[in-house]
Chains A and B, each alone.
Chain A
Amino acid sequence: MKTLLNWRWRSCLLLLLALSLQGCLGFGGNSNGDFNRTSTGGGQQLGINNQAVFQGKLYFTINRTLWVLDGTRTPHQLTRSGMAVRDPAVSPNRQWIAFVVRYTNYADLAYMPITGGKIRILRSGQGKYYYSGTFIHSSYTWQSQPAWSQDSTHLLFLSDFEKEDWYAYTPNAPLLDLQVFSIPLNDPTQVQDVAYAYFGDGGDRDPSYRPGHPDQIVYTHYAYDDATHTQQVIQIFLEDANAISRYPRGHYHPGEPGFDPGVAITPPQDQNIQPAFSPDGNWIAYVRRQGSDQMGLYVMPVPEGVTSDPNNPAVAQKALEPYKQSSLILTGEFISQPVWSPSGKQIAYLSYNNQTFDIWLVNVSLDTKTGVYHMTGSPVQLTDGGVDADSRPCWTT
């Protein structure tokens, strides 16, 4: 009996020792047993949660390669490594995937068949550094964040390709801030100005067409305040996609008084970014900065009838009203890049856990009594191992 007791003690102590060593030395596997892992190259793995339920296909990038994940939770790599891909966008007719390919000094706007195949360049950003007098200019350009029109014939995209046009207005200082343009697939030379950028804070981001309203777009507008030009004002804007084309070019100079077709739908005191339309076009999910790393995911209704007369103060006021009906879905560290499911019942977003950015899913539903969206159930982590957080994902049927 005594011997037995000793052996029990010994076993317990040895077990404790083993556990201690295990803790110290980091033995053991990943505790996330519900994740199926796939190699993504470079020794990294992408884990997909077996318990996550969703429909359709999610497109995203990992280490600048394009991946797709469908409801069977099987990831597929769509582009080879060595090409820096960002911002995938699937056309509503599900024929094309548009994306951006980045290089050291420029980016190309490209697309390819959704079934894979040859990549085609819609617009290249290649250029050069050159001298104008004693000043150094560059003709390289960036392209970013393509977004399809509902008829799959046009793309919104961001670019600074007009930067050199502004040399005349800003002596020898180009407008580097990216603005919103549209480009038709059947004639890429016919690029149209859609939304202007303010001078100096980096320009616009996150453009997209409003479903069901092909003449409206939403985007995030980064600017400085008019009074001091020192405080950042980051707002979400709604705009008539063709307003600028109806006015003679040059009527409005970025950062200067003049006709501005954009109408703010979020107030200047809050920093709201990354708007995403719901599939029916009646709601916008967006991210609000709440602290240095804390973000809130919100849903607000889309203001109606405010894009036709954007400079009317009464209209501008009306455009801000729906913001007050924003509902907080969830908060967390570095929550970003929301995208609605095609059904409108889920929102995918990026969240920061274990020092990686991963895709999470949250179920949402519209409360008919209160008229606001709210979260149902708990968020579910979909991926583990990290995706590119600066690349906007896309969710399609």
Chain B
Amino acid sequence: MNQRKFMQTNPLRGNGFRLEPVPPSAEQPSADAQRGVPPAQPQNTFPSPMPASRPPGTGLLSNWKANAARSAALTANAELKSLTEQETLEHEVVGMPVTGPAHYPGNTTNGYHGRAPQSGTTPPSTMFAPLPTQGMQPQQAAPVGPYPQLQPLVPMPGTRPVPAQPEWYQYGPRPAMPAPMFTAQGFRPAVRPGAVPRKKKKRASMGIRIVLGVVVLLLLAGGSVGGYYYYTLSTPINTILNQQVQRLPGDEDPNQLRGSGGSVLTGGRINILLLGSDTDEKFKLINAEGTDTYLAQTDIVVSVDPATNDVTMFSIPRDFWVNVPGFGMHKLDEAYALGGVALSRLTIFQDFGIRINYYAWVGLDGFIKVIDTVGGVDIDVIHPITDDQYPDDVGNNTQDIYRYKRLYLAPGPQHLGGIEALEYVRSRHADLVGDFGRSARQQQVLKQLKNKLNSPGVVEKFQELANDLAGYVKTDMQLTDIFSLLRYARGIDTSKINQITLGPPYSSSGTTSKGESVVFPHCDLIVPEIAKVFASTADARCNITAATGNTASPVLASQTSPVSQTADSSVLQTASQMVNVSAMSLNGGSSSPIYPGSDLLGIHSLLDLLFLIVFESPAALQV
């Protein structure tokens, strides 16, 4: 039988960044003791004969904190609060007590049920000794916080079309016209000599004029709304796209050799590095240059060869013990914290020989915000979800970044907000079947989510969605590239997409000499895989041993400083891409069954990119 396993914890240590020291929290007495209620369970501890550890996973969802630090704060719950006796609102008496025959199962042997029934028994007052008054702590975590509100649309005044002037009025005297002597109204009056005879204008009927007015009004309103959307949406989206990151010395830029001709899908195989980070505030670290940064719990290289339709998702466990250039041996997820995209990219190239053409990074909070923006998801929770070691990384106001949280989601249909939905799809301890169960849960949420994102009303939320993504999605690709890539990926049978995870047998869990729990790569198995998957786009190797241990090289360390965005795409440029994507989508690009209407403004493409990385599965595109 499978058994639940518990993770060992190790502090994250690195030379290039500093973590806030976590002060040990004082243990608080149990609430039972406080109130005189007998303890719910024995507080004894059991020996641990089998030092098992949960196998480190591969990424954002699978192994968010596979090696959480053993923090003293874990031993106490800072949120321990007792339930206060709380006055409730008074209401009328419902009815009289039942006086019928009492039933009692008095056939027990242990005395638990051996007492005679007492109708209307009032619990002894000693049971309910006065409780310490303390604020109630709602079960829900703190809400994510305030979202930008959709700006109200400014109604555009309609413009009534001016009736066209007759041609003669503009260019000279009216030409002479033979006038009939009689009209339908009778004898035609004589024309005054020298007077310019008035032509009876062919005026459009009032109905037609109103129709024209309405059409013009709608066109103007539509144009204004469209312009408004392009302008307001392109600003946040501009912070997502074309976020170029300068390459570090030693990191060859494969795009210079590709000659792509302007399209991401031409010019041969490309490799895209997908990075995912928990972006909760407490996970914000400060690197050597004093810049805020995060760990990258997801490290996936997607390799696409449009010529052969070969697509591979190559997942590297976050705990891979590798040589981070300039910093020595570290876990792979620390490379991002130490030097951002540039160092992650260089690490993968130097250690495994894989050249990275593009990158995309997402933050977990973006997913929560998107779900909340669309009003949550309504699903049938397939079984009770229990997890005693869910990472408490959303709404955790303490400084303990390795704190855990307990989950209990009731089964059955219900509404889930962003945080609950994330818990539902992310928990790894909630079922015995591990990833299969988790994948089923993910599919449920994605299906609901995409139904909502496909509803016509979601257009009103485009700006909110764009703002949700801003700051939580970054890539050096253009919107048109993302649209093309995802459209291409959706057209491929998911079962044909290779998914390689460098877990066992490609690696094994272990402990470093300093006691850190890590994953050791098995190079003899990894190198042939790299050579097979990446072909000419990689110099397959497994150069994972650092010569200098964990000492940062001053030269390389200083070279990580220009890890900042160097290219600024203008808002107008972004708006132009949004127009292009809309046009591509409407011109047959919407072959996807996912968004059968169209990918207006490219919002759906950006959302799919978010889902792809958060769920670490191409199935996220197919739901």
A residues bordering B, Cβ < 8 Å?
A: 6, 9-10, 13-14, 17, 57, 64, 66, 68, 76-80, 82-84, 90, 92-95, 101-108, 110, 112, 114-121, 123-142, 144, 149-154, 159-165, 167-168, 170-174, 176-178, 182, 184-192, 199-203, 205, 212, 214-215, 220, 222, 224, 229-230, 232, 234, 241-242, 245-246, 255-256, 273-274, 287, 289, 292-293, 295, 334-337, 350, 352, 355-357, 386, 388-390, 396-397
Contacts and interface: CB of A to CB of B under 8 A. Distances in A.
A136 B389 CA distance: 8
A93 B93 CA distance: 12
Contacts of B80: 126, 128
Contact of A234 (B77, B121, B378, B383): B383
B206 A6 contact: yes
Given A84-B138, A186-B115, A129 B95 contact: no
A80 B88 contact: yes
Given A106-B406, A142-B406, A177-B384, 11 more contacts: A94-B96, A107-B408, A115-B93, A137-B45, A144-B410, A153-B121, A177-B386, A187-B115, A202-B385, A202-B386, A202-B430
Interface string B418-457: 0000000000011111001000000010010000000000
B192 interface: no
Listed from nearest, the 10 A-B pairs whose CB atoms lie closest are A202-B384, A126-B31, A133-B48, A214-B103, A102-B139, A173-B4, A334-B413, A192-B112, A200-B432, A84-B139
Contacts of B206: 6, 9-10
A178 B138 contact: no
Contact of A128 (B70, B75, B405, B433): B75
Nearest to A70: B94
A231 B500 CA distance: 25
Contact of B112 (A127, A160, A190, A295): A190
B412 A153 contact: no
A139 B137 CA distance: 18
Contact of B41 (A108, A163, A186): A163
B174 to A, nearest CB: 28
A245 B384 contact: no
B112 A246 contact: no
Interface of B: 1-9, 27-28, 30-32, 35, 37-38, 40-52, 70, 74-77, 79-83, 85-98, 102-105, 107-113, 115, 117-121, 123-124, 127-128, 131, 136-141, 205-207, 210-211, 214, 375, 378-389, 404-406, 408-415, 429-433, 436, 444, 447
A184 B115 contact: yes
Nearest to A255: B1
B110 A77 contact: no
B137 A116 contact: no
A109 B389 CA distance: 23
Given A6-B207, A176-B387, A230 B105 contact: no
12 contacts: A95-B120, A131-B75, A142-B386, A150-B102, A189-B38, A203-B384, A222-B384, A246-B107, A292-B447, A355-B375, A388-B415, A390-B410
A161 B40 contact: yes
Nearest to B384: A202
A87 to B, nearest CB: 9
Contact of B141 (A83, A104, A173, A224): A104
A99 B546 CA distance: 59
A123 to B, nearest CB: 6
A121 B131 contact: yes
B94 A93 contact: no
Contacts of B447: 292
A133 B51 CA distance: 8
A205 B378 contact: no
Contacts of A212: 103
A127 B7 CA distance: 20
Given A150-B103, A214-B105, A292-B380, A77 B89 contact: yes
Contact of A202 (B49, B74, B383): B383
A336 B46 contact: no
A195 B128 CA distance: 28
A115 B119 contact: no
A224 B27 CA distance: 38
Contacts of B88: 66, 78-80, 112, 116-119
A201 B45 contact: no
A182 B115 CA distance: 13
Contacts of A293: 379-380, 413
Contact of B4 (A14, A90, A123, A176): A176
Nearest to A162: B41
B421 to A, nearest CB: 13
A115 B109 contact: no
A290 B497 CA distance: 31
Contact of A64 (B52, B105, B139): B139
Contacts of A138: 388, 404, 406
Contacts of B430: 202
Nearest to A104: B79
A119 B128 CA distance: 9
Contact of B410 (A10, A135, A205): A205
B48 A222 contact: no
A109 to B, nearest CB: 10
Contact of B90 (A115, A128, A220): A115
Nearest to B430: A202
Contacts of B9: 134, 136
Contacts of A116: 87-91
Contacts of A246: 107-109
A205 B411 contact: yes
Contact of A13 (B48, B138, B207, B375): B207
Contacts of A255: 1
Contact of A200 (B2, B41, B105): B2
A222 B32 CA distance: 30
Given A201-B384, A205-B384, A105 B77 contact: yes
B210 A108 contact: no
Contacts of A127: 30-31, 40-41, 77
A4 to B, nearest CB: 12
A82 B96 CA distance: 31
A186 B94 contact: no
Contacts of B119: 93, 151-153
Given A115-B90, A154-B113, A334 B32 contact: no
B113 A182 contact: yes
Contacts of B205: 6, 9
A396 B131 contact: no
Given A80-B89, A138-B388, A144-B408, A188 B48 contact: no
B413 A132 contact: no
B385 A185 contact: no
Nearest to B96: A94
Given A133-B51, A139-B43, A177-B386, A93 B97 contact: yes
A186 B113 CA distance: 11
Contacts of A176: 4, 386-388, 429
Given A13-B207, A355-B378, A103 B386 contact: no
B112 A152 contact: no
A273 B411 contact: yes
A72 B141 CA distance: 36
Contact of B3 (A106, A107, A149, A173): A173
Contacts of B5: 172-173
Contacts of B412: 273-274, 287, 336-337, 389-390
Given A120-B123, A132-B46, A95 B97 contact: yes
A186 B121 contact: yes
A128 B77 contact: yes
Contacts of B91: 68, 76, 78, 115-116
A135 B414 CA distance: 34
Nearest to A213: B103
B48 A164 contact: no
A396 B98 CA distance: 12
A164 B44 CA distance: 9
A200 B432 CA distance: 5
Contact of A94 (B1, B50, B94, B406): B94
